[in-house]
């Protein structure tokens, strides 16, 4: 209790910095100025009436996409229920609207002040709360317990790095983990770490991201692009993070590149599209941006295709001969490689994989992925793969099989929740 009081005091003292952060982000993403009052659970409209909703919190784009199969299954099983989705980032909010349409209410989860969380729960009165992956907010959890809202941590994961960080804050975090009604973990390793931090009622239900089958029409778009580009080898850097594009280009510059090689770079965050375009221009690399490309034939002199669009990652995987996962070349913990496997794209990852450590290990064991010690090793391996159609074919088959056999988490999660939803 004392630890949470001190935590709340620190949050209150940091309020001016939180406001400055939003204003700073708004200079690159004006959407950060929108729905400002929701960040502090101040609402200008009356509370919605009707039946208590099923509430799901997905912080940003990755969590929102991961939650899609579960939300679709819940909406199909409980067609008369209201649904509330909360996010933290504008891109997460936009993704939720794109994927879910107007059938759900979408809001920002307020910052974790005790009063704000109380107002949020009193306004929406959720019948059940589902928090995705690693969103552990002590005051939110305490408020749910006080107001009798069952709260589950779903698709829970906890890397060694995160475990060590939480362990240093055990007086604050142990009661928070213990406060969940239940925790549904991705892997046995995640469950063990969560239990060591004080979590109760922990079950392993698998990774929802395996159930998120890429939309067929988006995958087909990538195949159509592939036909237009003909025999050009295509190497994709997917969901790249800050600094990785330059590192990747440096690694490739040391090697003898295949004739006609087309690099595709898709930055993780849309606010970096212009920054990456400027980097490519500085390097003198003829570049076409997706926003200016209609899918027709490219000039043979084009070296780079910059994916400055949202929602098309399955198409980029379908286009590519080999995909390198962003977030793994520098210490960001890797982005989700499951979608690439589900499309059948051979996957290469760098040394940093703490966000998807178990998935990477399993994918390697299955023959669907390969991990290198640095960007240079990954680049060298990528070029060998581009010259070896037989090995790519084996990795493609392995990826499709790997993605298929791990599906089913959605039904396991539903089985747990049914006892609460009736």
Q: Is 63 a catalytic residue?
A: yes
Distances (CA, A) of 342 to 313, 336, 338: 12, 11, 6
Q: Which of 38, 63, 312, 339 is catalytic?
A: 63
Q: From 288, 300, 369, 287, select the one nearest 328 (Cα to Cα).
A: 369
- Length of the chain as a residue count: 422
Residue found by looking up tokens 């925790």 in the block: 183
Dist CA 200 CA 145 (whole Å): 14
Q: How far apart are CA 132 and CA 204, in angstroms?
A: 14
Q: Is the dihedral of CA 98, 103, 107, 112 positive or negative?
A: negative
Rounded to an integer, what distance in angstroms lies between the CA atom of residue 90 and that of residue 60?
8
Per DSSP (E only), the strands in 175-334 are: 182-185, 202-204, 234-240, 262-267, 287-289, 304-306, 322-325
**C-alpha span between 163 and 148 (Å, rounded):** 28
Closest CA to 158 of 348, 1, 3, 333: 333
What does the alpha-carbon distance between residue 70 and residue 209 come to, in Å, rounded to a whole number? 10
Active site residues: 63
């Amino acid at each position: 209790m004392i630890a949470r009081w001190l935590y709340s005091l620190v949050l209150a003292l940091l309020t001016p910095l939180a406001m400055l952060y939003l204003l700073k982000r708004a200079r690159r993403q004006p959407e950060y100025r929108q729905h400002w009052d929701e960040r502090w659970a101040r609402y200008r409209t009356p509370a919605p009436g009707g039946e208590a909703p099923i509430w799901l919190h997905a912080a940003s784009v990755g969590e929102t996409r991961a939650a899609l199969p579960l939300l679709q299954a819940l909406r199909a099983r409980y067609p008369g229920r209201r649904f509330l989705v909360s996010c933290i980032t504008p891109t997460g909010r936009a993704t939720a609207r794109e994927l879910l349409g107007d059938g759900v209410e979408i809001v920002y989860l307020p910052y974790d002040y005790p009063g704000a969380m109380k107002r949020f729960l009193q306004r929406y009165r959720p019948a059940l709360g589902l928090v995705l992956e690693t969103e552990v907010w002590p005051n939110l959890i305490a408020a749910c317990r006080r107001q009798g809202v069952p709260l589950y941590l779903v698709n829970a994961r906890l890397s060694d790095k995160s475990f060590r960080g939480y362990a240093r804050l055990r007086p604050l975090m142990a009661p928070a983990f213990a406060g969940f009604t239940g925790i549904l973990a991705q892997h046995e390793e995640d469950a063990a770490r969560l239990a060591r931090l004080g979590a109760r009622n922990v079950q392993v239900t698998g990774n929802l991201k395996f159930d998120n089958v890429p939309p067929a029409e988006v995958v087909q778009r990538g195949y159509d692009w592939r036909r237009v580009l003909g025999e050009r080898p295509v190497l994709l850097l997917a969901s790249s993070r800050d600094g990785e594009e330059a590192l990747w280009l440096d690694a490739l510059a040391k090697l003898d590149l295949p004739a006609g090689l087309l690099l595709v770079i898709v930055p993780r965050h849309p606010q970096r599209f212009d920054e990456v375009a400027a980097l490519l221009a500085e390097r003198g690399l003829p570049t076409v941006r997706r926003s200016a490309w209609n899918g027709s034939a490219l000039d043979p002199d084009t070296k780079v295709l910059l994916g400055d669009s949202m929602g098309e990652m399955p198409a980029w995987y379908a286009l590519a001969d080999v995909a390198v996962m962003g977030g793994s070349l520098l210490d960001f913990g890797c982005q989700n490689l499951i979608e690439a496997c589900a499309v059948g794209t051979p996957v290469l990852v760098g040394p940093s994989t703490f966000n998807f450590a178990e998935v990477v290990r399993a994918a390697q064991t299955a023959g669907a992925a390969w991990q290198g010690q640095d960007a240079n090793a990954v680049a060298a391996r990528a070029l060998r793969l581009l010259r070896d159609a037989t090995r790519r074919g084996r990795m493609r088959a392995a990826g499709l099989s790997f993605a298929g056999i791990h599906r089913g988490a959605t039904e396991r999660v539903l089985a747990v929740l049914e006892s609460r939803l009736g």
